[in-house]
Amino acid sequence: MSEYILEMKDICKSFPGVKALDHVSLQLKPGHVHSLMGENGAGKSTLMKCLFGIYKKDEGTVIYDGEEVTITDPFDALQKGIAMVHQELMPIRDRSIAENIYCGRYPVKKFGPIEVIDHKKMNDDAQALLDDLGLDFKATVKLGTLTASQMQLVEIAKAVSANAKIIILDEPTSSLTLKEVDKLFEIIKRLTAKGCGVIYISHKMDEILQISDEVTIMRDGQYIGTWSASELTTDFIIAKEVGRELKDLYPPKINTPGEVIFEVKDFDSVLDNSFKDCSFSVRKGEIYGVAGLVGAQRTELMEAIYGLRGITSGAVFYDGQQLKIKKPEDAINNGIALITEDRRARGIFGVLSVSDNVAVATLNDYLIFKTILDHKKIKEVVDKSISELSIKTPSPKAQIKNLSGGNQQKVIISRWLAKEPEVLIMDEPTRGIDVGAKYEIYSIIGRLASEGKTIIVVSSEMPELIGICDRIMVMCEGRITGVVEGEDMNQEKIMELSTAFRN
């Protein structure tokens, strides 16, 4: 018997214009956490999609539980005992949590020759699973009422419910806070104690070193090596990922904030359980962070400012003038842009090209005689964006859905940079992005602020906020509990304010 529950040997996969996997191998032991690391576009998710049956490999062998197998589709993978939590969530928002967990494998009951879904058993089983995992959700509520991070926890519960021998977790903590990460690690330890093998994809070095038994690093679709996690350091991982040393995680601050330019006053949500009495001000050229745990209503507040959510009271001011914002178009026309947390649902246009996704917000700026698009000008803007943000794509005409999650995020950032907003709200801007690309985005944020742009960054990563922001506003349960700067910008103080109403 092999010591491995899974062996992937010499896996190759090509897409038009790019070889995504070039003879990549991976070995997973039962009861172990095997982490898969590499920059965006390294091929991590592609390799796992080949294992899960989303893609068909061009070459190579998969040996599962001692036997060579061919996995035809995700349902086949689940039947064999392989489950996957995707980096890009694909929820059925109008159905309940229970229906999402058991989608495709609903429990049934018979009335003579007729089979119908046993909703009671499904709801009871889903609720028992949620309670067992410590997730405070009602199984019968619509999934669409949850935040992106809460949906991610439901996806993890769905994978656990399959009683799989192998669970693939692709960036499972990308929008989770420390408390939720600890909960996930408890679940992983419970699974591995039962002999389940876990393949864990993440860009977060501290998580990798904490949870992993082995680590495989990939670069540009190729296998670089596998090491015991206990042998690794952050500097070693970064050097292997990017092929060079990267000593500083955050660029030096080059912006000098000026006078207050952007103000939000007395914002109350139309929903009782959302934000209330929220007021804050941001200076010209300032990088202003927004911190808080899941449920703090950070995203909801930003979306309300942008005109995506209703308010019962509140006003937005720029340079002393009140802005009338009833819908996103109003915000855009007033120089405000929002990069959303959920890029798949609200960010990208999956069937359109990279070029179309970059240009879509500024098409009116490229009109000749108000009727004809200036494609030459669009190409110049798109080529500049691809170069400046190092977007990895075989062509500007490639469909954005075929890019890695991190490169999709860069395209969205490029879209709004092309619009040249005065106020740029960035909700989890580096979610699912590798360390090298993060540095590039931090540098862009710093450059924009030095040019006098006002930047608001919502992030679940406290080190990120501390590393790039001038001040950090902290929220808890829909209220602003404090603003920290200088020596008070530390994780202990931020966590204290993040739990102000929970203690």
* pLDDT tens readout for residues 180-209: 788 889 889 988 998 999 999 987 888 899
Separation of CA 498 from chain center = 21
Q: What is the CA radius of gyration of the chain?
A: 23
The whole-angstrom separation of Cα 454 and Cα 383 is 25
Please give the DSSP secondary-structure letter assigned to residue 145.
G
Q: In Å, how far are 39, 86, 166 from 48, measured between CA atoms?
A: 15, 10, 11
Q: Which residues are bridge partners to 13 per DSSP? A: 21
Segment 329-354 shows an average pLDDT of 82
Q: What share of the chain is helix, strand, coil (3-state, %, to 5)?
A: 35, 25, 35
Q: Which helix (H) or strand (E) is 11 found in, with range?
A: strand 6-15
Residue 319 tokens, joined: 């340079």
12 vs 370: CA distance, rounded Å:
48
Q: What is the pLDDT of residue 175?
A: 65
The mean pLDDT of 405-409, rounded to a whole number, is 78
Of the chain, the percentage scoring pLDDT greater than 70 comes to 95
Q: Is 267 in contact with 278 (CB distance < 8 Å)?
A: yes
The mean pLDDT of 54-68, rounded to a whole number, is 94
Domains, in order of start, for the chain: 6-242 (3.40.50.300), 248-335+421-503 (3.40.50.300), 345-405 (no CATH)
Task: Look at residue 503 in the predicted model and tell me its pLDDT.
Answer: 45
